[in-house]
Structure 1
């Protein structure tokens, strides 16, 4: 996205046709205002104060420039809460597992000229809420995105990446290592040989995706994010220079288009593969917990895509027969 500002103004020409040429503009890549942050610099604190005074108007007039699209799949405020402190302190990336926790890993391989993503997470049982319901929470421990430009010839070197992943398998000893079905045969074979050679009780397999399965996984992830069941540290992988970490930026970029999940590819974020990793791990480790006293949950937390689109279509539908009948007094 680009923003523009006026850098000079030349005298207006007498001809109306030339007046459009009276301004010279240059583009710049940052927003024209600071993102609201109550703990940030002076300008960010001012923005946060304005947001507190009138959140609705601020969302329309100010926060719009930070939105990735007009139909975000995840609620922006719920996504921001993913990166808040959990367990009394901010989360940090881990480099090894701890006793008593069960870890799982998901890998999203790519072509040698695209991004390669991997994520490790574990689940924890949360405290009962005010209704006495206890949910399982997903805690993200470590993730990494390998970019082609990170390598000398601009192509991902699989041997180097798999060497890192093998080290993390040894450090976390996950019970499951799954790979996205795309371009994964070599990865699963290599890692399967590795865990067998070390007698690790780790399952390594290809995660086969279907449209229905993908939709179900993302609905589970959305519910889990909306109800505060997903927690992650803030990474330093975002090279776009904005105020969000890479995983945060990717979650904000997922769209709902014509009732379907859309993950628009960009140069900075790739195919949003980290979100796929998070969806797989969340679905597998937490499952669908929306059935627990749904009547007591915040309504937005468990509204599925089909219901959303049905409501949108119903509100936009216009019955021309009834309209003309009312105009002309006919039944």
Structure 2
């Protein structure tokens, strides 16, 4: 396997600490281990340090009878740059006070916290989400709204990034949130490499719907998949939804319905996401001018591109590029 070199946003990604406790949600825990805890010999730069931190006793019994043995005490959170909270065992049970204190103190000194599924109830109980946007599995939202009315709940998203706090929806959305964090730290090329090892799509935007009428395939149905490939090859050009529908040999109404059923996203939103992904890759790895990048991503004016990029990524194209050059 070839070794990849990244222009990193941060030369030291630091320690990732995943919390364990009795009743641990096994799949959510596994996501954190898979993304942050495995060796990455394909990368020629420091990867995350990783520790399993116990919120209660050293040994925790996870769902399914699996026993997880922590390799660090709760006090290790003081050294963590990133804290992962897998799904909490009972949304009506207040987490241990010592756990909440440790998370609050870590957050106050700048640690990032990421919850998967019902893990949001731990971050909410710690007071980290007051007045902020957050999400969780759609089944848990009524309880989250009832218990924590000060949270601005996003009803139908995969994950919400509020800077130092990231919350994600149902279990598999935790993969998307973790890949999003990798993308923040290392850029699109590295995040895409991790996604390939997971046999995952390289990027699902946080605003994508949680519930999809038809199961999402690794590659959407042949007709829709072919149209997506056709559009990706033409991102430098204006692409009308009507043209995509014609390519699929469907009416526009049928195409929009089938596209949403196959991907969980609207066709226009998907196309915008693809343009932004291309822009990030060009900004991270190339020396093209902003005007050239704007044109290659299909924007008729540089100002339109700047506005769209800021709305999608949260910063300007120039600032995004500068962050990579500073660490290059």
- Which TM-score applies when normalising by structure 1? 0.26
Task: Determine which structure has greater relative contact order: mean sequence separation of CA pairs < 8 Å that are 6+ residues apart, divided by chain length.
Answer: 1
Greater strand fraction, Structure 1 or Structure 2: 1
Greater helix fraction, Structure 1 or Structure 2: 2
Structure ID, larger Rg = 1
